[in-house]
Amino acid sequence: MLMATLVGGLVLGGTYALVAMGLTIQYGIARTMNLAYGETMIAASFAAYLIHNTLGVSPVLGLAIIAPAGFVFGWLVYGILLRPLVARSKNIASLEINSILATFGLLFVIQGVMLVVFGGNYISYNYLNFGIEVLGVRVAANRLLVLFLAFVIGGGLFLLLTRTRWGTALRAVAVNPAAAPLVGIDANRAARFAFALGGALAASGGVVVSMYQTFTASSGVVFTMKALIVVIMGGVGNLAGALCAGLILGLSETLVATYISPGLTMAAVYIIFLGILLWRPSGLFGKVGK
Amino acid sequence: MKLTYGIPAALAALVVLACAPLFVGPYWLGLLIGLAGYVTLASAWALFSGRTGYVSLATVAFFGIGAYTVAVLSEAMPYPVVLLVAAGIGLGVALLVGLATLRLEGVYFVVFSFGLAELVRQLVTWYETSINGTLGRYIFLDFGPEHIYWQLLALAVVTLLLTWWIGRSRLGLALKVIADDETVASHIGINIAWTKITLFAVSAVIMTLVGAIQSPRWTYVEPAIVFNPTVSFMTLIMALFGGAGRLWGPALGAIPLFLLFEWLSANFPDHYSILLGLLFIIIVFLLPRGVVGLFDDRFGTRRAEVQPAASGEGAGK
Amino acid sequence: MMTATRRHALRYFGASAIVFATAAPFAATAQDRTSVKIGYAISKTGGNAGGAGITTLPNYQLWIKDVNDAGGLELPDGTRLPIEVIEYDDRSSAEEVVRSIERLATQDEVDFMLPPWGTGFNLAVAPLFDRFGYPQLAVSAVTDKAPEFVKRWDKSFWLLGGGHDYTDALAKVLSTASSEGTINSKVAMISVADGFGIDLVTAARPAMKDAGIEVVYDVTYPAGTTDFTSILNDAAASGADSFVAFSYPPETFALTQQAQIANFNPKVLYLGVGTGFPMYGANNGANAEGIMSLGGIDYSNEENMAYRKRHEELTGQAPDLWGSVITYSSLQMLQEAIKRRGLDRDAVSDELSNGTFQTASGEIKLEDNQLRTLWLTGQWQDGEYVAVAPADREGAKAPKLPKAAWQGQ
C-alpha cells in the first residue's frame, strides 16, 4: 500500500513539475509573469488531440512539431507583446504589473479563439493507457512518460543552463538584468530566448497532459495556477526547486488521499504550500530575502 | 479636483444614485448593484494593495466567506446580526493572513494570497460535505434588489470615506513612508507590522460585507459559486486599470470596465473572450498609468509626490 | 434604450414594489408582431461551459432551427411566427446569470426565456422567472427539493428528477443482482464534493440500506481531482463487488482509464455524468461494455432516433444519452403549449402543468410540475447506451451483469 502510494505520488508530481518548469524559466529569466501559460498548454493539447484523432498519428511524434511551434509562439509573443512593455517599464515592479495585465489579455484571446474553433466541450482521448509494473505497482504508461519527460527536460535544461555559454548568459540575466549588458550579454535576446523556451515547455506539457487528462477550452487557468504554485514553492527561476516542489505536492496528495481522506487532498496541497512559504518566504530553493 | 466644488458634486451624485431604484427598471438596478459591488471591492482592494504594493488575490476568499455566512445563518438570526458575524469572521481570517504580509513580498505574496483563497474554498467544501453532509445552501431572504443596492451603495461610500480619511491620517503618512522604504520607516519609529495588518483587516472586512450583502441575489449558494476566482482577478484588474494609488482610481477603473464587460457579453456572446483580451492588451499599451494617469496628464493636476498609479511602486524590492 | 428607461420610470414612479411583473402589458396578438422573441443566458465560457455545451446549448440551437425551418412557432389561429433569438453568455458566474435574466425580461422584453445550465444556476434564476411571470422548464437540475420549489415558484418545472429517483433505481438493480447471486451485497461509493455528487450520495445511503446493500466504502473527493489511484486501491480492498461513483465528466473519464490501469474489475461499475456522452463510447470501445450510469435511452423509440440524427447533422456531434433528449423534449412541450394557448405566459404555464405532450422522449404528462417518467439507469450494451431501469417501463432492457473484465488494448 505504501509503495503504491509513493509511486503514485511521484508520477502525479512529475506532471506538476513538468508543467511548472516552463513557467519558472519564463518568470525567472524573462521576468514576466505569463498568465496565458495554461492557455498555451491547452492549445497544444488540442493540437495533440487533432493529430491523434484525425490523422491517427501518435501524440509523442506530434511533439516534434508542437514543441517547436510553442517555441515560435513564445518568441513572437515576447517580441510583439512583452518587449515594448519591458522597454517602457522603469522597474521590476511595474514590469510585473504590466505583464500581468498584458498576459491576462492574451489569456482571453487564446481562450476565445479556442472556443470559437473547438467549442466548449470536454475533450478526452485514450493513448498509452496500459499498465506497467514499477516496483510491484501498476502505473499508467502515459503517466510514466510524463515523469520520464520531467526528468529528461529538467536534466537537459539544467545542463544547458550550467554547462553552456548560453546558459551562463541566461543565468546572469536572471540574477541581474541591469548588469548583464556590462559584460556583453544581450539581455533582451536572452530574455526572449528564455520566454520562447518556456513556450516550448508549455506546449510539451500540454501534449503529454492531454494523453490522460480531460480538458476544455476553459481549463487553462487551472494549469496556470497549479504551475504558479509549484514555481513559487520551489523558488522563482529554479528548475530543481520546481521539480522538488512538484514531487512534494504529488506525494502529499496521494498520501493524504490514502491515509487521511480523499476529500482533503486539495486542501492539503494548499496547506503545505502556504506552510512552506511562511517557513521560507522565497520558496524552497529561493534566495533568502530581507 | 478642488475640494470647494468636489464635495457638493459628490453629494449630489450620491443623492441621485440613492434615488435611482425609484426610477430605473430591474435590469438597470441589477447593473447598478454590480457596479456598486465592484466599485466597493476595487476600492477596498486598493485601500491595502494600492498603498502597500502587496498585490492580493485573496479578494474572493473574503467575498465568499461573507456570502457563505449569510447562507448558513440567515434563518438563525436577524439580518444585521448576520452581517456583524460575517464581518467578524472576515476580520479573524484577515488578521491571520495579515501576519503573512510580514514575511512575504512581491510575487510570493500574490500567489500566497491566491493559495489562501483556494484553501478557504477547499476547507468550506470539505466541512460541508464531510461534516454536514450537504453542499448547496439556500438563501430565502425577503428583500428586493433595491435593498441590496442601497446597502452596497452605503458600503461604497463608507469605503471611499475611509480611503480619504486614511490618506490624511497618521496611518496614511506612515504608509507612504513604508511604501518608499521600510527600513527608514522602522527607523523613525513606525510600527510597520501594525500598520500593514490594520489596513489589510479593514480592506478584508469590507470585501466580506460585499459578499454578504450580494449573496441573497443568488438564492442558491455553493462554494464553486461564491469562491469563483474570477472575482479576485476582476477586482485586481479594475483597480489597476483605474489607478490603485488614488482615491477615485479604483472607481474610475471599475465603472468603465464593468460596463464594457456587460456590453461585450450582451452584443458578442460568441467572441466575448477574444474582444475582451484584445481590449486589455490595447489598454495596457495606451493607458500605462491607468485612467487616473490619463486624467492627470490631460488636466495637469498630477501632484509631484504621487508616483505613477498603475505601476505599483514599492512592490517587491 | 432611452424610451425603455422612461417607460419603466413611469411605471415605477412612486411604487415601492419593484417586484411587479413587466409581463402582461407587452403580450401582443399575432397581427402586430413579426416574430416571437426567445432569450436565454448560457455558460459559453468558464467552468460550466463543458456541461452547457453538450446538454443544453446544442439543443436550443437545434430546436430554434427546427422551428424556423418549419416556418416558425405555430399559434392557436394557425399562423406562424419565426423565433427571434437573444443569447447571452453568463460566463459561469451567478451574478452574471441573474443580471442576464433581468435583462432578457425587462430590457429585451422577450416572450419566453429558456433556463441556464446547472442546478445552482437554475435555482439562482428561479425567483426571477417567477417574479417576471415566465415559465421555467429546468432540465439540467437534479434536485430532491423539486416539490418544495414548485410550491414556492408555481411556474417552475423540474424535468430531470431528484437524486433519490436515480439512487433508488440503482439500489434496485443491485439488490436484484445480489439476490440472484450474481454479485455480493456490498457496494463502494465515491462522490464529487459538488451539489450533484452530494445530492446523490445523500440519497444513495438510505436507498442502499433499504435495499439490503451494505455500503462498505464511502468517500467524497474534491472536484478537479485527477488521480484516483488511492481511491481505487481502497475500493478494491473493501471487498465490494459494486463500485459506484457520482462523478463529473473529467473524473468519469479518469476513473475509467485508471480502473483499467489498476486492473480493478468490479462486477458492477457505475459512473456519473459523462458516461452517457457519445465520446465515452467512442473512446472506450469494447471496454465501455457493461458500464452503468444515470439516464439511458430507448433505441426503439423512432422519434428519439430521428432527433438524434438531426442533432448530429446540425451540430456535428451526437447528443448525450441522458439529459439532451429531455432538453429537446422540454422545448417541444413549450412549442406545443404555445400552439394550443398562444403567447400568454400564464396560459402556457397552465398548459405545461396540465397538458399531455408528444415529444422525442415519448408522451409526457407532468405530475405536480415534475417529469416522473424518466430513464433512471442506463448501461452500455453492444456499443449502445440502453436504458435498464425502471425495468417495468416499456423499452427497458435487462441489465447485463456481471460486467466483463477489462480487455487489453
Sheet holding C36-42, edge to edge: C83-89, C36-42, C112-114
Transcribe chain B into DSSP letters.
Answer: --HHHHHHHHHHHHHHHHHHHHHS-HHHHHHHHHHHHHHHHHHHHHHHHHHH------HHHHHHHHHHHHHHHTTTS-HHHHHHHHHHHHHHHHHHHHHHTTT--HHHHHHHHHHHHHHHHHHHHHIIIIIIS---EE------HHHHHHHHHHHHHHHHHHHHHHHHSHHHHHHHHHHH-HHHHHHTT--HHHHHHHHHHHHHHHHHHHHHHHGGGGSEE-HHHHT-THHHHHHHHHHHHH-TTSSSHHHHHHHHHHHHHHHHHHH-TTTHHHHHHHHHHHHHHH-TTHHHHHHHHHHT---TTPPPGGGTTTS--
Q: What is the pLDDT confidence band of residue C2, given thresholds at 50, 70 and 90?
A: very low
- The interface pTM score, or ipTM, of the predicted complex is 0.85
Per-residue model confidence as pLDDT tens digits over B201-235: 999 999 999 999 999 988 888 888 899 888 898 89
How close is the nearest chain A Cα to the Cα of B83, in Å? 27
Q: Is B4 on the interface with C (CB under 8 A)?
A: no
Between the alpha carbon of residue A21 and those of residues A205, A246, B167, the distances in Å are: 9, 10, 42
Size of interface A-C (CB pairs under 8 A): 117
Question: Mean pLDDT for chain A?
Answer: 87
pLDDT at B177: 78
User: What do you get for the CA distance between the two ends of chain B, in Å?
Assistant: 32
Average pLDDT over residues A81-96: 80
CB contact (8 A) between residue A108 and residue B273? yes
- Residue C227: which residues within 8 A CB-CB, separation 6 or more? A8, A12, A253, A254, A257, C254, C258
Q: Is C220 on the interface with A (CB under 8 A)?
A: yes
Lookup: cell for B286: 495606451
- Residue B80: which residues within 8 A CB-CB, separation 6 or more? none
- Residue A73: which residues within 8 A CB-CB, separation 6 or more? A40, A199, A203
Minimum-distance CB partner of B273 among A111, A267, A278: A111
Strands B220-221 and B137-138: antiparallel
Minimum-distance CB partner of A101 among B229, B271, B284: B284
CB contact (8 A) between residue A228 and residue B111? yes
CB contact (8 A) between residue A289 and residue B105? yes
Say whether pLDDT at A253 is over 50. yes
C260 vs C257: CA distance, rounded Å = 5
Per-residue model confidence as pLDDT tens digits over C108-154: 999 999 999 988 899 889 989 998 999 999 999 888 889 999 999 99
* H runs (alpha helix) in A54-164: 59-77, 83-88, 92-118, 141-163
CB contact (8 A) between residue B269 and residue C198? no
Q: Is A21 on the interface with C (CB under 8 A)?
A: no
Residues of C in contact with A124 (CB under 8 A): 250, 253, 279, 283
Transcribe C220-248 into DSSP letters.
Answer: EE-TT----HHHHHHHHHTT-SEEEEE--
pLDDT at C1: 33
Q: Using omega within 30 degrees of 0 as the cis cutoff, is the peptide bond preceding C249 cis?
A: no
pLDDT at C150: 94
Lookup: cell for A172: 546572469
> Quick check: A207 and A149 in contact, CB under 8 A?
no
* Alpha-carbon torsion (C359, C362, C368, C370), positive or negative: negative
Please give the CATH architecture assigned to the domain spanning C163-299+375-389. Answer: 3-Layer(aba) Sandwich (3.40)
pLDDT at C126: 92
Minimum-distance CB partner of B278 among A105, A263, A281: A105
> Quick check: C332 and C343 in contact, CB under 8 A?
no
Minimum-distance CB partner of C230 among A111, A216, A262: A262
A242 vs A234: CA distance, rounded Å = 5
Please name the amino acid found at residue B50: G
Q: Is A221 helix (H, G, I), strand (E, B) or coil?
A: helix
3-state secondary structure B184-238: HHHHCCCCHHHHHHHHHHHHHHHHHHHHHHHHHHHCEECHHHHCCCHHHHHHHHH
Q: What is the pLDDT confidence band of residue B295, given thresholds at 50, 70 and 90?
A: low
Greatest mean pLDDT range, A135-144, A229-238, B199-208, C219-228: B199-208
Q: Is C191 helix (H, G, I), strand (E, B) or coil?
A: strand
> Quick check: C307 and C360 in contact, CB under 8 A?
yes
Residue B105 CB neighbour total at 10 angstroms: 22
Q: Read off φ and ψ for residue B36, nearest 5 degrees.
A: -60, -40
A15 vs A30: CA distance, rounded Å = 23
Q: What is the pLDDT confidence band of residue C12, given thresholds at 50, 70 and 90?
A: very low
Model-level pTM greater than 0.80? yes
pLDDT at B297: 56
Beta bridge partners of C378: C293, C387
A129 occurs within a structural domain: yes
C346 vs B37: CA distance, rounded Å = 35
Residues of B in contact with A267 (CB under 8 A): 119, 122-123, 126
Say whether pLDDT at B262 is over 60. yes
Place of cell 524552497: A284
C156 vs C123: CA distance, rounded Å = 10
Q: Is C178 helix (H, G, I), strand (E, B) or coil?
A: helix
- Residue A95: which residues within 8 A CB-CB, separation 6 or more? A31, A32, A85, A86, A89
A81 occurs within a structural domain: yes
C48 vs C320: CA distance, rounded Å = 16
Average pLDDT over residues C3-20: 37
Lookup: cell for C344: 400568454
User: What do you get for the CA distance between the two ends of chain C, in Å?
Assistant: 61
Residue A91's domain comprises 22-221
Say whether pLDDT at C338 is over 90. yes
C179 vs C212: CA distance, rounded Å = 10
- How much of chain C exceeds pLDDT 90, in percent? 68
Q: Is B147 on the interface with C (CB under 8 A)?
A: no
CB contact (8 A) between residue C261 and residue A139? yes
pLDDT at B288: 67
3-state secondary structure C138-160: ECCCCCCCHHHHHHHCCCEEECC
Residues of B in contact with C94 (CB under 8 A): 217-218, 225-226, 228
- CATH match of C24-162+301-365 with 3.40.50.2300: yes
Average pLDDT over residues C15-27: 39
Q: Is A139 on the interface with C (CB under 8 A)?
A: yes
Lookup: cell for B35: 457596479
- Tell me chain C's radius of gyration from C-alpha atoms: 22
Average pLDDT over residues C304-332: 93
Place of cell 481505487: C232
Q: What's the half-sphere exposure (Cβ side, CA atoms, 13 Å) at C78?
A: 0
A169 occurs within a structural domain: yes
Minimum-distance CB partner of B288 among A88, A105, A273: A88
C384 vs C297: CA distance, rounded Å = 9
Residues of A in contact with B268 (CB under 8 A): none
Say whether pLDDT at B258 is over 60. yes
> Quick check: B232 and A225 in contact, CB under 8 A?
no
Q: Please tell me which residue, B144 or C81, carries the higher pLDDT value.
A: C81
> Quick check: C255 and C271 in contact, CB under 8 A?
yes
Lowest pLDDT segment from A130-144, C84-98, C113-127, C214-228 = A130-144
pLDDT at A85: 86
Counting the structural domains of chain A, the total is: 1
Minimum-distance CB partner of B277 among A94, A106, A289: A106
How close is the nearest chain B Cα to the Cα of C155, in Å? 17
A15 occurs within a structural domain: no
Report how far Cα C75 is from the mean position of its chain's Cα atoms.
28
Residue C201 CB neighbour total at 10 angstroms: 25
C279 vs C320: CA distance, rounded Å = 9
Per-residue model confidence as pLDDT tens digits over B84-109: 999 999 999 999 888 877 788 778 88
Residues of C in contact with B262 (CB under 8 A): 99
Average pLDDT over residues C71-93: 92
Question: Mean pLDDT for chain C?
Answer: 88
Please name the amino acid found at residue A155: G
Per-residue model confidence as pLDDT tens digits over C204-227: 999 999 999 999 999 999 888 888
Q: What's the half-sphere exposure (Cβ side, CA atoms, 13 Å) at B18?
A: 11
Mutate to test the interface with B, among C91, C131, C205 (most CBs of B within 10 A): C91
B189 vs B178: CA distance, rounded Å = 11
Say whether pLDDT at A234 is over 60. yes
Lookup: cell for B29: 438596478
Say whether pLDDT at C275 is over 90. yes
Per-residue model confidence as pLDDT tens digits over C372-398: 989 999 999 999 999 998 999 988 999
Minimum CA–CA partner of C93 in chain B: B225
A90 occurs within a structural domain: yes
> Quick check: A10 and A215 in contact, CB under 8 A?
no
B83 vs B67: CA distance, rounded Å = 10
> Quick check: C171 and C149 in contact, CB under 8 A?
no
> Quick check: C290 and C400 in contact, CB under 8 A?
yes
Minimum CA–CA partner of B123 in chain C: C222
- Residue C10: which residues within 8 A CB-CB, separation 6 or more? none
Minimum CA–CA partner of A214 in chain C: C250
Q: Is A36 helix (H, G, I), strand (E, B) or coil?
A: coil
Per-residue model confidence as pLDDT tens digits over B189-206: 777 788 888 889 999 999
CB contact (8 A) between residue B126 and residue C222? yes
Exposure string for B269-296, b = 16+ CB within 10 A, e = fewer: bebbbbbbbbbbbebbbebbbbbbbebb
CB contacts under 8 A, C 12-71 vs B, are 12-14, 17-19, 22, 44-47
Residue C177, judged by CB atoms within 10 A of its CB (0-12, 13-18, 19+), counts as buried
Q: Is C88 on the interface with A (CB under 8 A)?
A: no
Q: What domains are there in chain B, each with its CATH number? A: 3-311 (1.10.3470)
Mutate to test the interface with C, among B16, B19, B28 (most CBs of C within 10 A): B28
How close is the nearest chain C Cα to the Cα of A17, in Å? 15
